[in-house]
Amino acid sequence: MLVLVAPGQGAQTPGFLTPWLELPGAADRLAGWSEVVGLDLVHYGTKADADEIRDTKVAQPLLVAAGLLSAGELGLFGNGGTGRPDAVAGHSVGEITAAVLAGVLSEQDALTFVAARGRAMADAAAITETGMSALLGGDQDTVVAHLNGLGLSPANINGAGQIVAAGTKDQLAALAADAPQGSRVRPLSVAGAFHTTHMAPAVATLEALAQTLTVADPSLPYVSNADGQTVNEGAEVVRRLVAQVSHPVRWDLCMETFRQLGVTAIIEVAPGGTLVGLAKRALSGVRTLALKTPEHLAAARELAAEAAGATPAARPEDSIPQDATEEHPQR
Asked if 155 contacts 249 with a C-beta cutoff of 8 angstroms, the reply is yes
Whole-angstrom distance, CA of residue 213 vs CA of residue 158:
29
Strand partners for 165: 133, 154
Phi and psi (nearest 5°) for 80? -90, 0
Residues 6 or more apart whose CB falls under 8 angstroms from that of 167 comprise 130, 131, 150, 151, 152, 153, 193, 196, 198
Backbone angles phi, psi at 271, to 5 degrees: -85, 90
Dihedral pair phi/psi, residue 256, rounded to 5°: -65, -35
Catalytic residue at 296? no
> Which secondary-structure segment (H or E) carries 201?
helix 200-210
Torsion angle of alpha carbons 188, 192, 195, 199, nearest 10°? 180
Phi, psi (degrees; rounded to nearest 5) at 222: -115, 115
Residue 199 · residue 126 · CB < 8 Å:
no
The β-bridge partners of 19 are none
3-class SS of residue 289 = strand
Which residue among the candidates 34, 70, 91, 92 is catalytic per the annotation? 92
φ/ψ of 61, rounded to 5, equals -60, -35
Cβ(240)–Cβ(226) below 8 Å: yes
Q: Bridge partners of 188?
A: 132
CA distance 330 to 326: 12
Q: Please say if 195 is a catalytic residue.
A: yes
Pairing label, strands 87-90, 222-223: parallel
**Rounded Cα distance, 228 and 18, in Å:** 33
* Active-site residue, from 91, 146, 195, 296: 195
Catalytic residues: 92, 195
